[in-house]
Amino acid sequence: MRDINKIAAVLPKAEVRDGALVIQASEAVEVLAAVKALGGFALFDITCVDRPAGTPPASAEGAVPAYPACFELAWRIWDLSEGSKDILTIRSFIDHDRAEAPSVMAVWKSADMLEREVWDLMGIRFTGRPHLERVLNRADFEGHPLRKDFVMPKRDRFPPASWDKKAAEGGQ
């Protein structure tokens, strides 16, 4: 793994926090393009976590400061240089009300599918790219299922009505 501090030194807009680069989401394209220019990096994955308000869990590497309620969007970049196959994490924290991030499709083409997945399941709108449509769920699906405030759609068949009757009678 290349030294993360050295990578951060050439990226003026990134700071190092518990083993990951933390950036403003709006600067993602700029930062990722700079990382790509270093050579030997490839976009591996985009992960997103719906963080509640309050203290978030400490990361495996150490304690992190408190965040407000946010989406934690992370670009996982694969370091393919000699002797290293580790992951460089570039994090950004996005407001719940304005769930938007710029698309990095122009930097790495593999972002296409990954961004559509995050949009479908988490509802982060990636701007500046074509075909941002649902990839896994139906086109008429309502909501974004991996958000914590997602309400499960009602199922009319299961459990069957007879079960409710049993429960009303006090049985198991």
The binding site for another protein (CB under 8 A) comprises 42-45, 47-50, 57-60, 76, 80, 84-87, 89, 108-110, 112-114, 117, 121, 134-138, 141, 145-146, 150, 152-153, 155, 157-158
Give the nearest distance from C-beta 112 to another protein in angstroms: 6
Peptide bond between residue 159 and the one before it cis (omega within 30 degrees of 0): yes
Helix (H, G, I), strand (E, B) or coil at 154: coil
Nearer CB in complex with another protein: 26/110: 110
Nearer CB in complex with another protein: 69/135: 135
Nearer CB in complex with another protein: 148/170: 148
- Would you say 86 and 79 are in contact if contact means Cβ atoms under 8 Å apart? yes
Give the nearest distance from C-beta 12 to another protein in angstroms: 26
Angle 59-89-105 from CA coordinates, rounded to 5°: 140
88, burial (CB in 10 Å: exposed 0-12, middle 13-18, buried 19+): buried
